[in-house]
Chain A
Amino acid sequence: AVVSTQSTGKQGKSSVLVGVWGPVDIRLNREDPEKAVVEATVRSATGHGTPLDKMYEEAVRRVCEEVILTTDHPRTSFQVIVQIEDNAGSVLSVIMNALCLALMDAAVPMKGMFGAVACVQTEDGTLQWDPTTDEEAGGQCSYLFVYSGQDMIYSHCTGQFSVDQYMLVLQKGRQVAVDLWAFFREAFEKLLKKDVKFQMLLNPKSKLR
């Protein structure tokens, strides 16, 4: 891999490391003549791979294929490697947010930013956002939504809930996602301004403008 980008997502204490490489070469039998292929690998902190890791890989792959402009780079691949360092709950949403930051850092062409919001609903109907492992176990149902722009592009919901409950959480989650994107913007601006050239470009008093 020539270029690597890593971003660490920490929500509460769940921590994840995401590396993105691309566009890179791909084996002839796996290449797609019309678009780039996204290959995802997710490894948990300890132990061998489980079906849950495979599900995370599939989730990451689907979100990437939806958001990355794969038709700009046919016959290549984008490789995503996720290492779960610490799992203290809502790990998939941490992975998705770290993935968005990693793709932005690697300058991979995307249709838009995306953000994940996780929530657990207890028996009395209260919603707990970004649940810890205990909260996830105690809840009646759990929701994970990944939003991009105006749309919801990926969801993973477990347990029993009504359509109205689902639509309510979907609506509230979008507002949380908007706040998340404001945070991404701030974080990215800090990263940009480490470079003197961009500091000067963005400074309203600078002569370069």
Chain B
Amino acid sequence: MAEVQEIPATPTMVMCGDAFAFPQCTELTVGPGLRYIKNTVNCTKPGVLRATNKSVWIDRNSKRYVPVVEERVIGIVAGRIGEDCRVDVGAAHYAMLNGVAFEGATQRNKPDLKIGSLVFAKVIAANKDVEPELSCVNKNGKSNGLQVLEGGHLISCSLGLCRKLRQPTTPLTAPLIAHFKLFELVVGMNGRVWIHSDSVKHTLCISMYLGRCEYLPEEELMPLLKDIVKRVESSA
């Protein structure tokens, strides 16, 4: 058997099958990409192993979404079964969204969800054996931004980009905020971003920018945006 090391304190690259000893007498949350077997933590995905005092996980970019509870996702309504809607969230199965799970909605007064409409919802149940469930409302009946998204433009991107965009201090959106006066971005954790701005050209610029900004260093982001804006303006 290979030697089993301690979980490294600094981020390290790991491959599938690498095993680390679970520290004694600690409560540690074993996160995505890892599994806990016989007092060792085994890596199931290649990536960067990161650890804090309370949790250890594998940081990895990928494209395929697997639903997790409490994550906010953008879904496309694919059909209705009675009161529920079947929503495509990009996972293996369709998710179920109750037609009344919106703020202030009752049986008689609920949003009209047509096939193809976009919904920004929260995953409330994500058991691997059952279809995931969504809701646009929390326990207190408040929506907190979860709603049907009208108009705008939806783009697909990788899960890593969505996580970066959702961080409050991300440098990726700084050029957008500096350049465009009026725009709205809704980022779902399932690799989808909804863009809404005051003109088609601006939406186009933003979507092209988001498609290319993921791997660039901070200093190249503003020149990228300026280049895209110039090309879109000149091609009009």
User: Which residues of A does B touch, CB under 8 Å?
Assistant: 2-3, 21-25, 33, 69, 72-76, 104, 106-113, 148-150, 181, 184-185, 188-189, 192, 194-198, 201-202, 204, 209
B11 within 8 A of A: yes
Pair B62/A107 contact, Cβ less than 8 Å: yes
Pair A204/B10 contact, Cβ less than 8 Å: yes
Pair B15/A181 contact, Cβ less than 8 Å: yes
Pair B46/A2 contact, Cβ less than 8 Å: no
User: Which residues of B does A touch, CB under 8 Å?
Assistant: 1, 10-13, 15-17, 33, 35, 42, 44-48, 50, 59-64, 66, 90-93, 128-129, 160, 164, 214-218
Task: Determine the residue in chain B with the shortest Cβ distance to A193.
Answer: B13
Residues of A within 8 A of B44 (CB): 69, 109-111
Residues of B within 8 A of A185 (CB): 13, 15
Complex Cα gap A75–B48 (Å): 29
Residues of B within 8 A of A107 (CB): 45, 47, 60-62, 64
Q: Which of B10, B35, B92, B217 has the most chain A CB atoms inside 10 A of its CB?
A: B92
Complex Cα gap A106–B160 (Å): 13
Supplied contacts A75-B93, A112-B17, 9 more A-B pairs, CB within 8 Å: A33-B129, A69-B35, A104-B45, A107-B62, A109-B33, A110-B44, A113-B17, A185-B13, A204-B10
Which 9 pairs across A and B sit closest by C-beta, in order of nearness?
Answer: A112-B17, A107-B62, A76-B92, A109-B44, A3-B63, A3-B64, A23-B92, A201-B11, A110-B16
Residues of B within 8 A of A33 (CB): 129
Pair A104/B214 contact, Cβ less than 8 Å: no
Q: Closest CB of chain B to A134's CB: distance in Å?
A: 35
Task: Determine the residue in chain A with the shortest Cβ distance to B50.
Answer: A201
Q: Closest CB of chain B to A203's CB: distance in Å?
A: 10
Residues of B within 8 A of A76 (CB): 92-93
Pair B48/A112 contact, Cβ less than 8 Å: no
Complex Cα gap A144–B11 (Å): 36
Residues of B within 8 A of A75 (CB): 92-93, 129
Which of B12, B48, B64, B128 is close to A106, meaning CB atoms less than 8 Å apart?
Answer: B64
Complex Cα gap A192–B64 (Å): 17
Pair A188/B66 contact, Cβ less than 8 Å: no
Pair A196/B215 contact, Cβ less than 8 Å: yes
Which of A73, A194, A201 is close to B215, meaning CB atoms less than 8 Å apart?
Answer: A194
Task: Determine the residue in chain B with the shortest Cβ distance to A34.
Answer: B129
Pair B17/A25 contact, Cβ less than 8 Å: no
User: Contacts A22-B64, A23-B64, A106-B64 given: A202-B48 contact, CB under 8 Å?
Assistant: yes
Complex Cα gap A111–B33 (Å): 11
Q: Closest CB of chain B to A43's CB: distance in Å?
A: 23
Pair B217/A196 contact, Cβ less than 8 Å: yes
Q: Closest CB of chain A to B32's CB: distance in Å?
A: 9
Pair B214/A72 contact, Cβ less than 8 Å: no
Pair B214/A195 contact, Cβ less than 8 Å: yes
Residues of A within 8 A of B60 (CB): 107
Complex Cα gap A118–B226 (Å): 52
Pair A74/B15 contact, Cβ less than 8 Å: no
Task: Determine the residue in chain B with the shortest Cβ distance to A191.
Answer: B46
Q: Which of B64, B90, B164 has the most chain A CB atoms inside 10 A of its CB?
A: B64
Pair A111/B17 contact, Cβ less than 8 Å: yes
Complex Cα gap A33–B128 (Å): 10
Residues of A within 8 A of B48 (CB): 192, 198, 201-202
Complex Cα gap A10–B10 (Å): 35
- A–B Cβ pairs within 8 angstroms, 24 of them: A2-B64, A21-B64, A22-B92, A23-B64, A23-B92, A33-B129, A72-B128, A73-B66, A75-B92, A104-B45, A111-B17, A181-B15, A188-B15, A189-B13, A194-B215, A195-B160, A196-B217, A196-B218, A197-B160, A198-B48, A201-B11, A201-B48, A201-B59, A202-B11
